[in-house]
Amino acid sequence: MWWGGRGRSFNIPPQKEPEMGHLRPKSMQVSRMEEPRSPQTSSCPALRCLPGEKILAWAPGVRRGLEPELPGTLMCTNLRVLFCPQGWQVRQDSVLNSDYDFSLSNIGRLEAVNGPGRPQILRPGSLLKFIPDEILIHGRDFRLLRVGFGDGGLEPLAFRVAMAIVQARKQNSQAQHYEGMILSKAYCGLGSNEPPVPLLETPEDWEAERRRHGARGWRVSTVNERFDVSTSLPQYFWVPRRTLDSEVRKAFSHFHQGRGPRLSWHHPGGSDLLRSGGFYEASDPNREDIRAVELLLQAGHSDIVLVDTVDELPTLADIQLAHLRLRALCLPDAAVAEEKWLSALEGTRWLDHVRSCLRKASDISVLVTSRVRSVVLQEQGDRDLNSLLSSLVQLLSDPGARTLHGFQTIVQREWVASGHPFLTRLGGSGGSEEAPVFLLFLDCLWQLLHQFPSEFEFSEFFLLALHDSVRVPDTPTFLRDTPWERRKQNGQFSSYTQVYTPGSPQAPPVGDLVPRPLTVWDWGLRYSHQQILQFYNPCYEPHHCSDICSPREQPTSVTPGPPRSIFLFSRGTLTPLNQLCPWRDGFSSLMSSSRWLPRHNASSDSLADQEWGLPPHWGASPLPPGLLLPGFLGPQIRLWRRCYLRGRPEVQRGLSAPTISGLLDELALLQGLLRTWASRPSSRDHMKTKDPDTPLSPSR
């Protein structure tokens, strides 16, 4: 439970600026500005900068909106805007402060207020017309920072910092310069006890993952090692053991963007979850190619279900629109009357989208767990909703995925390595294809967390941290579109990565010739030890993990005959298909059979009932161990208030009931007392009543 070793502080020593990015500012300020530099910045507080970061302006101010008001300094650097409360440096052991940091791309709206008049909205490039009393920064992640400036002759500083932010945003939107900070190895993941999250950039990682899943019928293919099959695919992926790389290469060329069917997850019961891009219907494969494609899709199973991923799910444009509306609704000054709030919320359609994702994911997890088969998620691009669905399915059906490590691995595999275009979707590239699919996924996950509070090792706080991390410019995890770009960057950076800090006393100095680039999973970078402790859910009941469902039937290793049954899953029903690929008979069969059936009338019977033909008296736990079936009725889909309503101070308080944490504290106290007693002789036997397996028995 306890993962020590993260509490120590670390230094980032002054370093030379490598001559590399043409956009890098030449005059690099060194971090830890302890001594005064110029008369102007004489009282500028110390700030531990990221490499490549420089302070553009600062002004003393007061954080407002919440009691108590907090004095400190508002600073603007070329990467972020941050508010440093007084005395912050002393306590903090992380470079980035999660509470008051706004990376420039995260600033959704900047307002300057002077007196009672209307606030001026500052867009990149606009000019400030007055000396501001107060600056309001609305984050795109729903946070709000209000900084007020006092009198005392420092008004020019306030003006300067406001203008600096405006300038920096302009610069930032003109030039996308997310280099990704590559710091020393000193920043590890959560702690020494947690294995590092596999980045899935080496074949070893993939092989280890494959073994962990027990996917014996699969192997790691290196066919895309040089990104010549597809730049958006990872370098390595899993294909059926029997297929040759040449077959894979040929088969993949008949898929949209070269994204052919690959294993996403192997269910311990024997089923396989695959993901694939759409068939590239203009291509004209020969007989062998079709056979290869079929083998890949079939994956040794006789029962295949093709899932039309986008069916019944929102389009990217829908997601973006809903998110924009949600953001507008959750602004503190949203002009929605209290009694109209619910219909306004419904009008955003965000919760509706969450519902449809959950519903589909729960249907698919039933397909995967109810019998041994190959379930193929097929989306044209294979980079957005496929990621969302396959991650959700795994979270629903695999208890191991609900641990912190398991979840991070899933995000790394299904989103990062699989080439979800984070930069484009989060609006970083300024294009029109913005759609926060990942944030939608986090919301779905929050619903699960809310409905099954004891099934997840991580807490809501962790989800919030992840939610807030997607735009933080310190790691390349989220700020790239493809694995290829990520890889390219790393390669380019590899000669500069040896920023080893001798000041860090416990950092292992040997054996790390290739330092890991920082990833978002290095939480120690942004969150303090205390905060990281809160990533863990005190209610977690890990006992479900032990029930491993025994494999029902492994796919036979010999090439099976033609598949016995092929279905298309759409609109909640399974429709039989005559063949897998659209090409053979002038690719008619898929087209003709994929008629859009209306959702089954009594579709309220969840697919679970249909698939299992559940006995009329459903006992208390008839589901396969570990499978979660979420509720998705209207009243059960909730608003993630702690995330979306953060900007509204009136609803920030009292959101958490301290019951569990209070009890935990009391428990720790009592155990401490008991231990002092137990250390006296003849009291050993009283310790044993405690169940050593309960996650709550803190061994601190």
Residues within window 549-578 making contact with other proteins, judged by CB under 8 A: 552, 564-565, 573-576
- Other C-beta atoms within 10 Å of 71: how many? 14
Three-state DSSP class for 250? helix
* Distance separating alpha carbons of residues 668 and 34, to the nearest angstrom: 40
Handedness of CA 192, 198, 203, 207 (dihedral sign): positive
Instruction: Indicate the residue among 200 and 566 with the shorter CB distance to other proteins.
Output: 566
Where in 241-399 does DSSP place strands (E)? 262-266, 272-276, 303-308, 374-378
Instruction: Indicate the residue among 271 and 424 with the shorter CB distance to other proteins.
Output: 271
Residue 696 binds other proteins (CB under 8 A): yes
User: Site size for other proteins, by CB under 8 A?
Assistant: 92
> Could you say which residues in the range 114-143 bind other proteins, by CB under 8 A?
none
Residue 135: phi and psi, rounded to 5, are: -120, 135
Instruction: Indicate the residue among 276 and 348 with the shorter CB distance to other proteins.
Output: 348
Which range of residues in 314-322, 435-443, 476-484, 535-543 is near other proteins by CB under 8 A?
Answer: 535-543
Residue 650 binds other proteins (CB under 8 A): yes
Which range of residues in 93-101, 250-258, 260-268, 648-656 is near other proteins by CB under 8 A?
Answer: 648-656
Q: Write down the least CB distance from residue 404 to other proteins, Å.
A: 18
Q: Using the rule CB under 8 A, which residue among 150, 611, 642, 698 binds other proteins?
A: 611
Contact of 369 with 375, CB cutoff 8 Å: no
Q: Which stretch of DSSP H or E encloses residue 55?
A: strand 55-64
Residue 636 binds other proteins (CB under 8 A): yes
Contact of 280 with 255, CB cutoff 8 Å: yes
> Could you say which residues in the range 395-454 bind other proteins, by CB under 8 A?
451-454
Residue 616 binds other proteins (CB under 8 A): yes
The DSSP code for 416 is I
Residue among 192, 130, 227, 90 nearest 508 (CA): 192
Do β-strands 134-139 and 573-576 pair in parallel, antiparallel, or remain unpaired? unpaired
- Other C-beta atoms within 10 Å of 369: how many? 27
Residue 125: phi and psi, rounded to 5, are: 95, -10
Q: Using the rule CB under 8 A, which residue among 214, 538, 551, 560 binds other proteins?
A: 538
Instruction: Indicate the residue among 343 and 699 with the shorter CB distance to other proteins.
Output: 343
Residue among 451, 359, 441, 454 nearest 402 (CA): 454
Instruction: Indicate the residue among 81 and 361 with the shorter CB distance to other proteins.
Output: 361
Which range of residues in 153-161, 331-339, 422-430, 437-445 is near other proteins by CB under 8 A?
Answer: 331-339
Instruction: Indicate the residue among 371 and 488 with the shorter CB distance to other proteins.
Output: 371
Q: Write down the least CB distance from residue 101 to other proteins, Å.
A: 24
Residue among 502, 471, 500, 477 nearest 490 (CA): 477
Residue 59: phi and psi, rounded to 5, are: -155, 140
What amino acid occupies position 164? A
Three-state DSSP class for 273? strand
> For the chain, how many helices (H) and strands (E)?
19, 16
* Distance separating alpha carbons of residues 364 and 377, to the nearest angstrom: 9
Q: Write down the least CB distance from residue 368 to other proteins, Å.
A: 13
Q: Write down the least CB distance from residue 384 to other proteins, Å.
A: 23
* Distance separating alpha carbons of residues 696 and 473, to the nearest angstrom: 36
Q: Write down the least CB distance from residue 216 to other proteins, Å.
A: 21
> Could you say which residues in the range 663-692 bind other proteins, by CB under 8 A?
663-664, 666-667, 670-671, 673-674, 677, 683, 686, 689-690
Contact of 532 with 524, CB cutoff 8 Å: yes
Q: Using the rule CB under 8 A, which residue among 20, 23, 342, 548 binds other proteins?
A: 342
> Could you say which residues in the range 63-82 bind other proteins, by CB under 8 A?
66-67
Which range of residues in 37-45, 78-86, 137-145, 645-653 is near other proteins by CB under 8 A?
Answer: 645-653
Instruction: Indicate the residue among 36 and 662 with the shorter CB distance to other proteins.
Output: 662
Residue 633 binds other proteins (CB under 8 A): yes
Which range of residues in 51-59, 157-165, 516-524, 608-616 is near other proteins by CB under 8 A?
Answer: 608-616
Contact of 260 with 386, CB cutoff 8 Å: no
Residue 345 binds other proteins (CB under 8 A): yes
> Could you say which residues in the range 348-377 bind other proteins, by CB under 8 A?
351-352, 355, 370-371
> Could you say which residues in the range 574-603 bind other proteins, by CB under 8 A?
574-576, 593, 597, 600-603
